[in-house]
């Protein structure tokens, strides 16, 4: 059944993302982000995408690369659980992913295009689920997750990082 995930469907840590998503229609939120986020990102531009708000912090490019990587991870977990696969899934280390991704060697437009492609895949996946699949669960990073919680995490994680870009990086 679609709708908001209950507290037991995810680790408490992920409430910071889930709570950012208003309402019970996460597919509409994901679709709205698919339309609005690329326009926001494209307005940043190549040079500004290299900005860091402090030494040792990720650049705007690294933030967007992280958003793309994390959405792939969350969607992959949702796929695993929705398809009733067995066995727990491991954690991922965002910092090592950011180092390995080398976002500064990727043109800004390509990172934005990647966001669009990843989000299109996320939407196609979640739109195709039947009602039963939304409530299937599994373990990742030693924590329980439902498929619907992971959909909310995808949306809330993007919203969280857009807020960081506005607040810490001074973007409009």
Coil/strand/helix, residue 59: strand
Tokens for 93, please give them: 């280390």
Model pLDDT for residues 57-92, shown as the tens digit of each residue: 999 999 999 999 999 999 999 999 999 999 999 999
pLDDT at residue 143 greater than cutoff 80:
yes
CATH architecture of 7-167: Up-down Bundle (1.20)
* Average pLDDT of span 134-138: 97
- Tell me the average pLDDT of the chain: 96
Distance of CA 169 to the CA centre of its chain: 19
For the chain, give every domain's residue range. 7-167
Listing DSSP states for 72-108 in one string gives HHHHHHHHHHHTT--S-B----HHHHHHHHTGGGS-H
**pLDDT at residue number 1:** 62
Q: Which residues pair with 140 in a beta bridge?
A: 89, 143
Q: How many CA atoms lie within 13 A of 140 on its CB side?
A: 23
pTM over 0.95: yes
* Average pLDDT of span 138-160: 98
Report the length, in residues, of the chain: 172
Q: Which long-range contacts (CB under 8 A, 24 or more apart) does 99-102 make?
A: 101/62, 101/65, 101/69
Helices (H), the chain: 15-18, 26-42, 60-82, 94-101, 108-127, 131-134, 147-167
**pLDDT at residue number 97:** 94
């Amino acid at each position: 059944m679609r709708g908001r995930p209950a507290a037991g469907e995810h680790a408490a840590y992920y409430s910071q993302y889930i709570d950012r998503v208003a309402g019970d229609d996460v597919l509409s939120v994901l679709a709205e982000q698919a339309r609005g986020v690329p326009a926001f990102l494209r307005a940043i531009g190549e040079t500004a995408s290299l900005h860091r708000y402090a030494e040792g912090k990720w650049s705007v490019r690294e933030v967007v690369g992280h958003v793309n990587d994390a959405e792939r991870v969350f969607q992959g977990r949702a796929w695993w659980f929705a398809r009733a696969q067995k066995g727990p899934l491991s954690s991922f280390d965002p910092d090592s992913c950011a180092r390995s991704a080398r976002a500064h060697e990727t043109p800004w437009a390509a990172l934005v295009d990647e966001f669009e492609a990843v989000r299109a895949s996320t939407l196609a996946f979640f739109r195709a689920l039947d009602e039963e699949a939304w409530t299937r669960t599994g373990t990742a990073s030693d924590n329980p997750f439902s498929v619907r919680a992971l959909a909310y995490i995808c949306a809330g994680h993007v919203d969280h990082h857009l807020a960081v870009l506005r607040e810490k990086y001074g973007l409009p």
